[in-house]
């Protein structure tokens, strides 16, 4: 039977076993055409509560499993992602609207996340501390318990597995709530992989549904940590709800990331980098390059080259057409938002140097010139294939423009390395890439932003993951019971 055989998930949720969802069913659709691909069960609020209780019981047994056994499950999961890469990739293409290259990169990322996480069970999990008493004093990291993972539509597999894999490896149970628009490739696929990898029942449960399911997952008494990736607006609600319940929330939110093209940079290479950063996956990435700052001496040349690249890119249905470089916007609501932002910016005085049109859900890669920092497409996150370009006169001005944004996720600096290093010291951003564009992620590297982009690096690498998905416990040990004298 195929890994994602519809007989398994049609009408069902994964709550310890595959069983009918009591919520309103989710229609699974192809992003490019709207074609119905199936019907997935959705959890009810009551089922979320039952799953959280079940997870708490399963977690205690899972945490008691030897580190090598937990590591083996993660390694087997990576092998299954590799074995069934073609099937999973096709689902990502159809459900999320990504190109085959983008979808394939998600499967490779899932393999990498699982293999990286497989090292976590045997990583050092504490410190031996000095003490003024005759005893051993130890600070050790212990599993947090039940972790909720809420993932978005744009990179549905990558942005779920990067929390699911380390949380499981470190001895936690996980409640996974995927986006309703990508619940097969970002939910069912992960569930089925870990089932085949031998993860005990109840340790990972996948609970599709809408906002009410997300709220129930966050509010479940047994959940101690919430890992949320999504919009800044939604993240604020999640963070507020978590704070009221004294829970930790790891928030990876929006971005309005900037590329700074330094004076004298190779414009052909810089524009190619800028195009990749703005148009990859139709600009539907939190790390998308949303602002291009180019020195006034090379501004016209950069705009012309960026527009040339934009006009040359092929937009279409990646599942049915060869050579497609940009697929569809995820849904009509998102498409309308991108179109409105471009229209408002043009009405404010910007010029469309390329693109600016759409055919169905297919929005042409768009270059906007004549920008000012007050225009909507400059200071708002677009989440579409739009590249606004602004001229700057000095390095100080460029740094000030970058830091004026409420977001602080990623910055790319293109050109002279010495100058770029000094600029890197001054920009407020969770990630800085010199002579690279803004989109980039690796399983062993910390990932996160500041300001409206989130509450810091909470993903990637052993340091961030162990910090994110465990609690610190202080343990002391004496050879004999200490003598206590109660004095008047």
Positions marked active-site = 252, 286
3-state secondary structure of 255: coil
> By three-state DSSP, how is residue 269 classified?
helix
Cα 470 to Cα 38, 225, 382, 455: the distances in Å are 37, 9, 35, 17
User: Distance of alpha carbon 147 from its chain centroid, rounded?
Assistant: 16
Q: DSSP states of 8-76 as a string? A: HHBTEEESSSEEE-SSPPEEEE-TTT--EEEEE----HHHHHHHHHHHHHHHHHHHTS-HHHHHHHHHH
In the β-sheet with 470-477, what is the strand arrangement from edge to edge? 126-129, 136-143, 470-477
Residue whose C-alpha is closest to residue 365's, from 320, 436, 316: 316
Angle between helices 395-403 and 417-424 (to 10 degrees): 40
Strand 223-229 versus strand 146-150 pairing type: parallel
Pairing outcome for strands 126-129 and 136-143:
antiparallel
Strands (E), 355-397: 358-359, 362-363, 366-369, 386-392
Q: Nearest CA to 254 among 469, 438, 421?
A: 438
Closest C-alpha among 364, 304, 371 to residue 344:
371
Please report the DSSP string for 336-363 in residue order.
Answer: HHHHHHHHHHHHTT-EEEE---EETTEE
Rounded to whole angstroms, the Cα distance separating 270 from 370 reads 19
Euclidean distance between CA atoms 179 and 479, whole angstroms: 53
Question: Are 394 and 403 contacting, i.e. CB atoms less than 8 angstroms apart?
Answer: no
* 268 three-class SS: helix
Rounded Cα–Cα distance for residues 270 and 267 (Å): 5
d(CA 485, CA 416): 69
Distances (CA, A) of 136 to 101, 133, 469: 53, 8, 25
Which residues make beta-bridge pairs with 229?
Answer: 252
């Amino acid at each position: 039977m195929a890994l994602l055989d519809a007989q398994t998930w049609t009408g069902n949720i994964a709550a310890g076993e595959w069983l009918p969802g009591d919520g309103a069913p989710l229609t699974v659709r192809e992003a490019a055409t709207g074609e119905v691909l199936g019907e997935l069960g959705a959890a009810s609020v009551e089922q979320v509560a039952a799953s959280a209780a079940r997870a708490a019981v399963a977690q205690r047994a899972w945490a008691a499993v030897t580190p090598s056994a937990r590591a083996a499950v993660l390694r087997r999961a990576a092998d299954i992602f590799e074995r069934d890469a073609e099937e999973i990739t096709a689902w990502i293409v159809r459900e999320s609207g990504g190109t085959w290259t983008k979808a394939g990169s998600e499967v490779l990322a899932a393999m990498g996340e699982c293999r990286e996480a497989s090292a976590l069970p045997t990583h050092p999990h504490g410190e031996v501390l000095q003490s003024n008493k005759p005893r051993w004093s130890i600070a050790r990291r212990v599993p947090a318990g039940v972790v909720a993972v809420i993932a978005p539509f744009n990179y549905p597999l990558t942005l779920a597995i990067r929390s699911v894999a380390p949380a499981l490896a470190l001895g936690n149970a996980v409640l996974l709530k995927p986006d309703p628009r990508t619940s097969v490739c970002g939910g069912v696929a992960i569930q089925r992989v870990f089932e085949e990898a031998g993860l005990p029942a109840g340790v990972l449960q996948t609970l599709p549904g809408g906002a009410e399911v997300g709220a129930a997952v966050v509010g479940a008494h047994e959940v101690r940590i919430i890992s949320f990736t999504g919009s800044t607006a939604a993240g604020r609600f999640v963070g507020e709800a978590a704070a009221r319940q004294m829970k930790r929330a790891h928030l990876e939110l929006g971005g309005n990331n900037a590329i700074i093209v330094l004076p004298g940079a190779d414009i052909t290479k810089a524009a190619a980098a800028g195009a990749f950063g703005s148009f990859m996956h139709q600009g539907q990435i939190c790390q998308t390059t949303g602002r291009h700052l180019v020195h006034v001496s090379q501004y016209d040349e950069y705009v012309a080259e960026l527009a040339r690249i934009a006009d040359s890119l092929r937009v279409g249905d990646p599942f049915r057409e060869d050579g497609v470089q940009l697929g569809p916007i995820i849904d009509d609501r998102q498409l309308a938002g991108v179109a409105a932002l471009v229209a408002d910016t043009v009405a404010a005085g910007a010029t469309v140097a390329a693109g600016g049109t759409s055919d169905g859900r297919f929005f042409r890669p768009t270059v906007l010139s004549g920008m000012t920092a007050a225009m909507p497409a400059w200071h708002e996150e677009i989440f579409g294939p739009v590249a606004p370009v602004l001229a700057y006169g000095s390095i100080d001005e460029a740094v000030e423009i970058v830091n004026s944004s409420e977001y602080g996720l990623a910055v790319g600096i293109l050109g002279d390395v010495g100058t770029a290093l000094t600029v890197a010291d001054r920009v407020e951003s969770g990630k800085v890439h010199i002579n690279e564009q803004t989109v980039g992620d690796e399983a062993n590297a910390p990932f996160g932003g500041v300001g409206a982009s989130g509450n810091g690096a909470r993903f990637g690498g052993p340091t961030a993951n162990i910090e994110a998905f465990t609690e610190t416990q202080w343990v002391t040990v004496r050879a004999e019971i200490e003598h206590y004298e109660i004095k008047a």
